[in-house]
Amino acid sequence: MSGREFRERVRRRARHANLTIGPELLQGLEQYYQLLARWNAKVNLTAFKLAPGGEDEAVDRLLLEPVAAAKYLPPDARQLLDAGSGGGSPAIPLKLAAPHLHLRMVEVKTRKAVFLREAVRDLALTDVVVETARFEELLSRPDLHESADVITVRAVRIEPRVLMTLQAFLKPGGQMFLFRGPGGGDLAESATPPLMWKATFPLLEALRSRLVVLEKVRIG
């Protein structure tokens, strides 16, 4: 499949999801997807078998779901931390959709972190840092405490302990974006102070996916 055909697939899937994809964003998404597909043939970056032409579900999950989530970013959000970045989705498509964000991707596996750095270089992304570490290990960095406006989580199992660790990096009033499939609740019961459930938004109807937003309550 040619690049033109791939771009038309993305446009078609975007229309199906009621999303508008501009030319610059479309080019970035294509470039990221093709790089991911090449690397995934040698390094296990995602469970999807990434054909060059892109399967509908892979395009929806890896590219369009993050773009759909971008419209729920707070208007004043500048610092984004992505926990367990893996192959770079949702973090990189979110950055492409919202270039003003300062992005920090946290990935413990070295080969995946190497890919993330290559993707940043290949896409000429600015204001992006890749941390090869467990997010728990970053607690030793005082400069990262309460530094993020938004934290995104998709590939990490959501448990109260995980939420409490991640909230340490979130500014008071900041938000945690949890990418969820059709199963499970809104995690309202799992969110304990200083986190509270704020909203749940539908993302892509084809995936029956949702975005659960938790907010860090300002104390005092």
Given this model, what pLDDT does residue 182 score? 84
Considering its fold, how many domains does the chain have in total?
1
Quick check: helix, strand or coil at residue 202? strand
What pLDDT does 53 receive? 65
Q: Is residue 184 part of a domain?
A: yes
Please report, for the domain that includes residue 150, its CATH number: 3.40.50.150
What is the model's pLDDT at position 2?
58
Check the CA dihedral 79-80-84-87 and report its sign.
negative
pLDDT at 209: 94
Q: Is residue 22 part of a domain?
A: no
In a domain, 107, yes or no: yes
Instruction: Indicate whether 166 belongs to any domain.
Output: yes
Residue ranges for the chain with pLDDT beneath 50: none
Residue keyed to tokens 């409490």: 164
Domain that holds residue 141: 65-216
Query: How far apart (Å, rounded) are the C-alpha atoms in residues 14 and 22?
Result: 11
pLDDT of residue 189: 64
Q: What is the pLDDT of residue 191?
A: 78
Any domain includes 8:
no
User: Is residue 36 one of the residues assigned to a domain?
Assistant: no
**Residue 13 covered by a domain:** no
CA distance 87 to 216: 27
Asked whether residue 77 is assigned to any structural domain, the reply reads yes
